[in-house]
DNA sequence: CGCATATTTGATAGATTTCAATTTATGTGG
DNA sequence: CCACATAAATTGAAATCTATCAAATATGCG
């Protein structure tokens, strides 16, 4: 199987927000790296470990996280097919956070120097990567609001809304999508305890908002859900592709 | 007074993490825009308002924030001299969050197209701006951990540690620095109520960790403070400048 | 089947918020 | 420079949300 098959979701993601020439598209698809299968619940990158390659998620679900000394975890982002959890370490090599495979996942490890090379040769790619970094940062800012100023149930709903929209972008169904997190994972993403997360999820089912069953989220009332969580997908910047650099 | 005086702190910040040629440095200093004095507690940018210029903080303290419909605020970042609170909107024009002047502040509004022009002409500047975006994102990730997994007192201490290091970078004293926030501002940054913030700050004073008096933070025991908050400045990436793009 | 992991439940403790009132600072116009 | 209005900081008491602990049940997997 050619590597470009693995790179296609990544290219799609870049092109959902940025405009790339044929040549640039080919350059992205020409990237390659070690293909790896990760088992579920596997911590595959430790914080601060300087990496010589960056990860591209092909399939599955990965989480970026911070940790307190007591061992408590805080997930700061989820990454699915086409996402690069540690793209930032291409330009800031020390900027690695811990990465976890939430479920059995496939990744490709692309050497940093290769990604840098295509970015330096093609301004459009550099721009696209920069834009991708910005959108991830925008999602992070929204997470701060979520964890800082919303109550338990609302936090979980907001997270599910985000995942619904992101699943839909990569071709999934926003109203019924795989979300292979354990309740502990959801707790770690929302800054709650596992017990309280469990009770909040039960409340969501009782109120006919969402059901999470067998790692599949079923949205029962999308409109109600969005309103309840004050969810507005604008912060994910999925309106259409842009380009500022010149096309050669 | 030449504009370059205003731009110098911005250039210094870029150069603390990125290497720029003389020509690029001159291009940065050649940027200009409308100079504005903002009164304290002034909301000078609303969320989602598409801007034609980006803000550069010259002096004072500004905050980026999200807001719930109920009007509760969550500060997602502080910005001081040399920082650009909305640099991201240069590449993603819709990505504006609300901005607040914490105290009387000075900013320069630099038209997006000017910033884009220098970035497109000088790969080193584009790289530096991208890197700056990444470092801000790294700080955001740390804020998620702070708000999600630390208790009230620790959250505040961690925030103060960050501000101490950032003040020191721009030539301030890390052990005694101006921090013109109200307790409500600190509450909004840490995801706490104003009352609980007040009590936590009193606890810090009682335990001889930190004193906040007349908007000045006095660090009484830096080592103890850092250890208490598990603070490690590594996530701010202040180790020294890098450059990957070719020097012409 | 049996072990390990995940979910669920109940009871209790604790941290944080809310409400309401008071005191203390801050700024402004006369 | 004072008086006043306003904003900020502080206090107390009660309510609420969330965490913790411990145990039981369910689920997945070799």
- CA separation for the pair B198, A10 (Å, rounded): 47
Tell me how crowded residue A195 is: count the other CB atoms within 10 A of its CB.
10
Q: Are B22 and B130 in contact (CB under 8 A)?
A: no
| pLDDT for A2 | 58
Sequence-distant (6+) residues with CB within 8 A of A69 are B230
pLDDT of A113 over the 90 cut: yes
pLDDT at B161: 98
What's the whole-number mean pLDDT along residues B108-120? Answer: 97
Q: What's chain A's average pLDDT?
A: 95
- What whole-number percentage of chain B has pLDDT above 70? 98
- The CA-to-CA distance between both ends of chain A, in Å, stands at 31
Other CB atoms within 10 Å distance of the CB of residue A174: 16
> Quick one: how many helices (H) and strands (E) in chain A?
8, 10
Neighbouring-strand partners of residue A36: A107
Task: Evaluate whether B109 touches B36 at the Cβ level (below 8 Å).
Answer: yes
**How do residues A44-87 score in pLDDT, each as one tens digit?**
999 888 899 999 999 999 999 999 999 899 999 999 999 999 99
**Tell me, what DSSP letter sits at residue A78?**
E
Q: What is the pLDDT of residues A181-236, one digit of tens each?
A: 999 999 999 999 999 999 999 999 999 999 999 999 999 999 999 999 999 999 99
For range B188-210, the mean pLDDT: 97
How close, in Å, is residue A180 to chain B by CA atoms?
A: 21
pLDDT at A240: 87
Q: How far is the CA of B65 from the C1' of D17 (A)?
A: 25
Determine the distance between B184 (CA) and D8 (C1') in angstroms: 9
Rounded to whole angstroms, the Cα distance separating A207 from A215 reads 19
Among A72, A79, A137, most B C-beta atoms within 10 A, so best to mutate, is A137
pLDDT band at B50 (very low <50, low <70, confident <90, very high): confident
Q: Would you say residue B189 has pLDDT above 80?
A: yes
Angle subtended at Cα B80 by Cα A50 and Cα B14, rounded to the nearest 5 degrees: 45
Which pLDDT score, from 0 to 100, does residue A172 have?
Answer: 86
Chain segment A128-152, per-residue pLDDT in tens: 999 999 999 999 999 999 999 999 9
Instruction: Please report the pLDDT score of residue B2 as a whole number.
Output: 57
Please check whether residue A220 touches B, CB under 8 A: no
Tokens at residue B9, please? Answer: 């702190």
Q: CB burial class (10 A; 0-12, 13-18, 19+) of residue A69?
A: exposed
Closest CA to B194 of B85, B75, B105: B75
Task: Say yes or no: B114 contacts chain A, CB-CB below 8 A.
Answer: no
* Protein-contacted bases of chain D (C-beta within 7 A): 7-13, 17-22, 28
Query: Measured between alpha carbons, how far is A165 from A236 in angstroms, rounded to an integer?
Result: 9
Selected residue of A45, A141, A147, A246 to mutate for chain B interface (largest B Cβ count, 10 A): A141
d(CA B241, CA B246): 15
Q: Is A39 on the interface with B (CB under 8 A)?
A: no
Candidates B7, B17, B52, B20; CA nearest to B122 is B20
Note the CA–C1' distance, A72 to D29, in angstroms: 27
Closest CA to A144 of A207, A99, A89, A77: A77
Beta-sheet strands, E only, within B133-235: 176-178, 210-213, 216-219
- Above 90 in pLDDT, residue A92? yes
Query: Would you give the end-to-end CA distance of chain B in angstroms?
Result: 31
Q: Among all chains, which residue has been given the structure tokens 């050649």?
A: B30
CA gyration radius for chain B? 18
Q: HSE-up of B10 (CA within 13 Å, CB side)?
A: 31
**Confidence grade of residue B96 (pLDDT, cut at 50, 70, 90):** confident
**Helix A3-17 crosses helix A22-29 at what angle (to 10 degrees)?**
130
Q: What is the tally of helices (H) and strands (E) in chain B?
A: 8, 10
pLDDT of residue A184: 98
A243 touching chain B per CB within 8 A? no
B144 CB neighbours in chain A (<8 A) are 66, 74, 76, 140, 143-144, 147
Whether residue B134 is predicted with pLDDT greater than 60 in this model: the reply is: yes
The rounded distance, in Å, linking the Cα atoms of B186 and B201 is 10
Alpha carbon distance B27, B9 (integer Å):
14
Residue A147 touches partner B, C-beta closer than 8 Å: yes
**Separation in Å, CA of A34 to nearest CA in chain B:** 23
Residues with Cβ within 8 Å of B172's Cβ and at least 6 positions away in sequence, in order, are B178
Q: CA-CA distances (angstroms) from residue A178 to A58, A60, A81, A229?
A: 15, 9, 12, 20
Over residues B2-17, the pLDDT tens digits come to: 577 899 999 999 999 9
Give the whole-angstrom CA distance, residue B168 versus residue B157: 16
Res A96 pLDDT > 90: no
Residue B147 pLDDT: 98
Mean pLDDT across A29-51? 93
Distances (CA, A) of B102 to A83, B59, B211: 36, 11, 19
Whether residue A92 and residue B245 make contact (CB cut-off 8 A), yes or no, is no
Amino acid A155 CA to nucleotide C8 C1' distance, rounded Å: 21
- In order of B6, B7, B23, B39, B111, the CA distances from B1 in angstroms are 9, 12, 22, 22, 20
Residue B1 tokens read as: 């007074």
């Amino acid at each position: 199987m050619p590597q470009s098959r693995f790179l296609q979701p990544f290219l799609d993601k870049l092109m959902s927000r940025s405009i790339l020439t044929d040549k640039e598209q080919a350059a992205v698809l020409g990237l390659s790296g070690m293909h790896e299968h990760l088992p579920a619940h596997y911590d595959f990158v430790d914080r601060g470990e300087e990496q010589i390659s960056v990860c591209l998620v092909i399939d599955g679900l990965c989480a970026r996280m911070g940790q307190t000394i007591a061992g408590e975890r805080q997930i700061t982002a989820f990454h699915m097919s086409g996402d690069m959890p540690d793209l930032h370490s291409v330009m800031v090599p020390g900027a690695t956070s811990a990465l976890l495979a939430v479920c059995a996942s496939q990744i490709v490890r692309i050497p940093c120097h290769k990604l840098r090379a295509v970015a330096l040769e093609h301004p459009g790619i550099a721009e696209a990567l920069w834009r991708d970094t910005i959108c991830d940062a925008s999602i992070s800012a929204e997470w701060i609001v979520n964890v800082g100023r919303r109550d338990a149930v609302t936090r979980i709903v907001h997270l599910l809304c985000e995942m619904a929209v992101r699943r839909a972008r990569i071709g999934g169904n926003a109203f019924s999508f795989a979300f292979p997190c354990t309740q502990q994972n959801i707790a770690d993403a929302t800054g709650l305890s596992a017990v309280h997360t469990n009770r909040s999820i039960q409340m969501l089912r009782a109120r006919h908002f969402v059901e999470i069953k067998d790692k599949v989220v079923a949205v029962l009332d999308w409109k109600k859900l969005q309103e309840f969580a004050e969810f507005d997908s604008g912060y994910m910047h999925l309106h259409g592709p842009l380009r500022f650099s010149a096309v050669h």
